[in-house]
Amino acid sequence: MAETATVEGAPEAIEADITYAVDTGVKPVNETMAEGDISRRKTGTYAPQRMRLRNGRLFRDTFALDVHGFEFVDHPTTTADFFDPEQIRSVYYPEVEALIKARTGAYRVHIFDHTLRSGDEGTREEKRIREPVKSVHNDYTDWSGPQRVRDLLPDEADELLRHRFAIVQVWRAINRPIESDPLAICDARSLGKAELIASERRYPNRVGETYQIQHNPAHEWYWFPRMTRDEALVFKVFDSATDGRARFTAHTAFVDPASPPDAAPRESMETRTIAFFRE
């Protein structure tokens, strides 16, 4: 077991409530409103389950993207202000592109969006950004993964889809270390196909699909205490390969019982990319 980059005082494991979907036979819907409207409409039934989460910092050197579905990496950034769209595109996006190429071996990486989140309502209103998502999900499905390539790169899609591709996300703190509502991530090997609930994802200009996740006590959860802005969690939410490599990586924000009472609200960003391979 590797014990690098530990955080003093962080427990080896915790128990916390993780919110799962309940399969009622009715397809859940999650609708995002028009640009500038940060509200959402969401249907479906959800229930908390008490789960054990292990401190991923203690195992960081053992994680592999194609095995566990995620990796935790040092990733210093020169981005000064994550709320500045120009800096994000001119400074941060190239950093992410280089990171994904290095971690996956992809010959091409297409960055197609990012989402800023805050645990503070005032910041959300001021910056028009969203809240942490406290329900277990995976951002793409067997259908919506390839469809996203068709949506974004219509002229190239037929040729690109002849080869392997993966949708890979990068999650990080953007200011202070994460003290509240951290991200939990599930070992992809412990996630079964029977637990995937296809959910309609509505946007003003298109309809997509995500997986909500049904509870299984066998799920193996990790979290990374006090992530800093120079660290990143890299994880796959779709892989077209069906040869046993990790394809879907369930994740969620959760209330950390070890958070101090005066914990700062979380400020984070996730960046979504498509990695293309020649195989």
Collapsed DSSP state (helix, strand, coil) of residue 88: helix
3-state SS assignment for residue 93: helix
pLDDT one-digit tens code per residue, 123-180:
999 998 989 999 999 999 999 999 999 999 999 999 999 999 999 999 999 999 999 9
Q: Is 188 helix (H, G, I), strand (E, B) or coil?
A: helix
14-276 CATH fold: Jelly Rolls (2.60.120)
Contact 184, 49 (CB under 8 A): no
Query: How much is the CA Rg of the chain, to the nearest whole Å?
Result: 18
Q: Please give the average pLDDT of every successive group of 10 residues along the chain, which has 279 residues.
A: 56 98 95 68 95 98 99 98 97 99 99 96 92 97 98 98 99 98 99 98 90 99 98 99 98 95 96 98
Would you state the pLDDT for residue 39?
64
Task: Report the C-alpha gap between 92 and 100 in whole angstroms.
Answer: 12
DSSP notation for 99-132: HHHHHH--SEEEEEEEEEEES-HHHHHHHT-BPP
Backbone phi and psi for residue 27, each to the nearest 5 degrees, phi listed first: -65, 120
pTM summary value: 0.94
| Domain ranges across the chain | 14-276
